[in-house]
Amino acid sequence: MLNRTKLWIAAITVAITVAIAVATGGGNTALAAAPRGPCGDSLTQGIPARAGDAPGGQAFAEQIRGLSDEERETQIRRALRAGNIPNFLRQLVPIRLQSPLLDGKLVDIIVCAAPDYLAIGSDDDFLLMPMRLATALATASEYGFTLPTTQLVDAIYAQAAVHFVPQPLPAGKEMRSTDYSLRHNDLIAAQRAALGVSLGALIAGDKKDLVLTNRLQDHLDRVAIYGWHTADGKPIQSLSTVHGWRYADYSHGARLISTQVFIDGKPRSIFEIMQDSRLAGALSKEGVVSNIIWLIKNLNTPAQATIAAIVPIL
């Protein structure tokens, strides 16, 4: 728990960040959920229903406090596999893109994204949960989702109902701790409340994204992170694959992206579009994301073997 000095510092930080957000157009009152268009409930049917006795975010944080990295990651994955996520994350938001074809025709593309990052708990008590890339990929795949590219992260920021002001915490070994995750979660919650942002509104700027990139093709032992945009629309974190696959800290978030997209209103697989040289540029700055299914499968392999050897995943 924060002492009085840390609480005072946190309160000042929130006040400053909210003032900046209001000054930059993020202070509209009652920012509500965006129209969902084709991104209906059918796309989230793969997410298990949350059990009535599932722990809230604060209780879950206490459960994983003091665990080893491997044990904590296993508990995170177990909770997510059981559907212990807040309801508002099941309400997808359309991200609208366009792609020009060779004949100059514009193709309309709608990608369906979660309004915020993966969290554990209920609407009333949730913890935005940092996790390893492999855990995020495994969870997304089981739900019928994937993770964004840097292009999609930029598009989500551009189309977000409100831009949160990034709130970095001091660097150090505690960055990977549960305490840091809780501290950062509290700062985000305070900024959300001060800005009057309703659950389900598309927000950005609160976390860095775990992303998919061709850079990982030759670095299956790494994690790719990107984003945490500031008010000028520029990311604090450029695309990075510096950290190993075990790494996760308080600033990381995993945003669910539906594997079903809509091209001129017709459903298509996002993986099919990522392999289409005519359309891939709308979803990825790198153009075609090579062997995307193979990449996702193999990024997940070392983590599954390591975690299962320590704490069996039920």
Q: What three-state secondary structure class fits 115?
A: coil
> What pLDDT band is residue 99 in, cutting at 50, 70 and 90?
confident
> pLDDT (tens digit, 9 = 90+) per residue, 72-95?
999 999 999 999 999 999 999 999
Mean pLDDT, residues 302-308:
51
> What pLDDT band is residue 301 in, cutting at 50, 70 and 90?
low
The pLDDT score that the predictor gives to residue 313 is 43
Write out the DSSP string of 246-285: T---TTEE---EESEEEETTEEEEHHHHHT-TTTGGGT-T
Beta strands in 30-144 (DSSP E): 93-100, 106-113, 119-121, 126-128
Enclosing domain of residue 270: 4-310
Which among 176, 273, 253, 258 is positioned nearest to 211, based on CA atoms?
253
Instruction: Classify the C-alpha dihedral 302-259-152-156 as positive or negative.
Output: negative
Residue 62: is its pLDDT beyond 80?
yes
Instruction: Give the Cα separation of 266 and 260 in Å (integer).
Output: 10
> What pLDDT band is residue 287 in, cutting at 50, 70 and 90?
very high
The number of beta carbons lying within 10 Å of the beta carbon of residue 136 is 31
> pLDDT (tens digit, 9 = 90+) per residue, 9-34?
444 444 444 444 444 444 443 455 55
Number of domains in the chain: 1
The pLDDT score that the predictor gives to residue 37 is 79
> What pLDDT band is residue 151 in, cutting at 50, 70 and 90?
very high
> What pLDDT band is residue 104 in, cutting at 50, 70 and 90?
confident
Residue 35: is its pLDDT beyond 70?
no
Dihedral pair phi/psi, residue 307, rounded to 5° = -65, -45
The DSSP secondary-structure symbol of 244 reads: B
> pLDDT (tens digit, 9 = 90+) per residue, 211-248?
999 999 999 999 999 999 999 999 999 999 999 999 99
Residue 217, burial from CB neighbour count under 10 angstroms (0-12, 13-18, 19+): middle
Residue 114: is its pLDDT beyond 60?
yes
